[in-house]
């Protein structure tokens, strides 16, 4: 997954302040973060739009990321860490209508993250999220 950003150094600093460690990123190259068994990249938003064959009309485009954690206390802690790192806390941690507990933080480029504890999902020690229902 790649997030388009306008200031790669600022975006990298933000995610590194939350404990992630970037790889690469020299010159116009993306910065990469290992995130569990996937890779999250930060890249110039205009370059990403061109490379993705889409027009960038600005703003949000229908994708919201989530960081699932193991307890309400962790939701509170990650939300405070994001705020300290420069995120906008758009919704303070609170109980949700679906029986969980979450907050919404917006990164410096406007990408929203849900910081969530979902007691109905299983979370591995390494942060992996597992649905507990069986596919139909």
* Number of Cβ within a 10 Å radius of residue 89: 15
The nearest distance, CB 82 to a copy of itself, in angstroms, is 14
Cβ atoms 112, 65 nearer than 8 A: yes
The nearest distance, CB 72 to a copy of itself, in angstroms, is 18
Q: Is 50 in the site for a copy of itself (CB under 8 A)?
A: no
Q: Is 99 in the site for a copy of itself (CB under 8 A)?
A: no
Sign of CA dihedral 53, 59, 63, 64: positive
- Report the alpha-carbon distance of residue 89 to residue 42 in Å, rounded: 21
What does the binding site for a copy of itself look like in residue numbers (CB under 8 A)? 1-5, 21-24, 32, 34, 36-39, 45, 48-49, 51-66, 68, 90-91, 104, 106, 109-112, 114, 121, 124, 126-131, 133-136
């Amino acid at each position: 997954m790649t997030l388009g950003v306008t200031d790669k150094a600022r975006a990298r600093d933000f995610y590194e302040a939350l404990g992630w460690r970037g790889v690469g990123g020299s010159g116009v190259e993306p910065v990469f973060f290992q995130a569990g068994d996937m890779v999250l990249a930060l890249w110039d938003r205009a370059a990403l739009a061109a490379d993705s064959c889409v027009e960038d009309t600005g703003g949000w485009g229908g994708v919201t990321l989530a960081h699932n954690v193991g307890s309400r206390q962790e939701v509170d802690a990650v939300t405070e860490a994001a705020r300290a790192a420069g995120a906008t806390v758009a919704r303070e941690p609170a109980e949700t209508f679906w029986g969980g507990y979450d907050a919404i933080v917006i990164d410096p480029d406007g990408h929203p993250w849900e910081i969530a504890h979902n007691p109905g999902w299983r979370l591995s020690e390494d942060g992996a999220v597992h649905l507990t229902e069986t596919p139909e």
